[in-house]
Amino acid sequence: MNKSLFHSLEGENITFKALSIDDVKEIHNYASDKEVSRFIGWDLMNTLNETREHIEIMLKRESTGTHLYASIVVKSTQAIVGTAMIFNFDQEANHAEIGYVFHKDHWGKGYGTESVALMSDFAFKSLNLHKLHASVVDTNIGSARILEKNKYELEGRLKDHYYIEDKYYDALLFGKITNLQSRKI
């Protein structure tokens, strides 16, 4: 897996860079926001130390080859506004899952759509994956729209799949199959 290429992906408005402990304060700004972390599958980070430990876990996963992570940086300001990830690689089926999280001050600015486009292009062209998929909490309309804008199809719904804050939510399952001739990784 070409981590350095993933860490250097660049779009019109954003660029990716390697996840780093040095960026703990910037990552903590969104990882500690209850509204942001509610539907992403991360525990709420209450302290800088909790965020540092979470970054260390992500870096360890990346070093073993099971996950790719990148900080998402706005080119015009150099501000870290989110995290992009490709994970749950299935070498037999030749697919993986994508995820993303953004500071809420940067929702609705197109950075999510651009990030998913960059990850999808990388996964299909550089990793030669056949399919990417994502799971979204059904009330996370913004995340579902990001996937739809990138031509991900709604493939299914898992009833009462998530239990968040004493309430059940459905999981929306999205997928995208490459139109490129793919090879197994």
Q: Please, which pLDDT band fits residue 180 given cuts at 50, 70 and 90?
A: low
Res 39: pLDDT: 78
Structural domains in the chain, sorted by start: 3-132 (3.40.630.30)
What's the mean pLDDT in 16-23? 97
Closest CA to 12 of 107, 125, 83, 109: 109
Confidence check: pLDDT of 56 > 60: yes
Closest CA to 120 of 146, 142, 157: 146
Res 89: pLDDT: 95
What's the mean pLDDT in 34-62? 90
Res 1: pLDDT: 65
Q: What is the pLDDT of residues 102-141, one digit of tens each?
A: 999 999 999 999 999 999 999 999 999 999 999 999 999 9
- Burial of 2 by CB count in 10 Å (0-12 exposed, 13-18 middle, 19+ buried)? exposed
3-state secondary structure of 124: helix
Task: With beta carbons less than 8 A apart as the criterion, state whether 113 and 143 touch.
Answer: no
